[in-house]
């Protein structure tokens, strides 16, 4: 174990470029924390014990990145357009909804 690194923590070595003041993180770390996305930022915390911590600053949580992907957002916009244009149906109960699904599936030859 590296000194000061918890057993459950992952340890990685990084590349430093002192003349530019930059640090290169491994690609897998950047991807896992969505730091490979445009505009990604990192907060640097310098602790009193000399440890330097990097904290990803994300506009959304990493486990919700799928929702903010362009493909999903396009589908969200399409759904909102349908709602705005009145291309929706409402049902009084789950049973009515399921009956309508069965009717549509039958009409399309899917049932």
91-110 pLDDT, tens digit each: 999 999 999 999 999 999 99
pLDDT at 1: 39
How do beta strands 15-17 and 22-24 pair? antiparallel
Same structural domain, 25 and 46:
yes
pTM (predicted TM-score): 0.45
**Each residue of 15-27: pLDDT tens digit?**
778 888 888 889 9
| Domains identified in the chain, total number | 2
Same structural domain, 58 and 88:
no
Residue at 49 is within a domain:
yes
Indicate which CATH number applies to the domain containing 41.
2.10.260
Domain range for 82 is 69-104
Same structural domain, 53 and 29:
yes
Residues 54, 42 contacting (CB under 8 angstroms): yes
Percent helix, percent strand, percent coil in the chain, to nearest 5: 40, 15, 45
Residue at 88 is within a domain:
yes
CA–CA distances in Å: residue 5 to residues 9, 10, 35, 40, 94 = 6, 8, 22, 25, 52
Residue at 85 is within a domain:
yes
Q: Give which of 6, 16, 10, 4 is closest to 51, Cα–Cα.
A: 4
Average pLDDT over residues 32-47: 87
Same structural domain, 73 and 88:
yes
Residue at 41 is within a domain:
yes
Residues 43, 55 contacting (CB under 8 angstroms): yes
Same structural domain, 88 and 51:
no
């Amino acid at each position: 174990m590296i000194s000061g690194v918890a057993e459950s923590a992952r340890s990685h070595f990084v590349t430093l470029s002192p003349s530019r003041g930059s640090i290169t993180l491994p690609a897998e770390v950047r991807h896992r924390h969505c730091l490979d996305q445009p505009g990604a930022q990192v907060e640097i915390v310098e602790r009193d014990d000399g440890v330097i911590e990097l904290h990803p600053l994300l506009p959304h949580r990493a486990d919700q990145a799928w929702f903010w992907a362009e493909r999903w957002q396009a589908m969200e916009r399409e759904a909102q357009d349908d709602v705005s244009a009145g291309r929706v149906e409402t049902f009084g109960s789950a049973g009515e909804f399921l009956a309508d699904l069965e009717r549509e599936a039958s009409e399309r030859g899917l049932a």
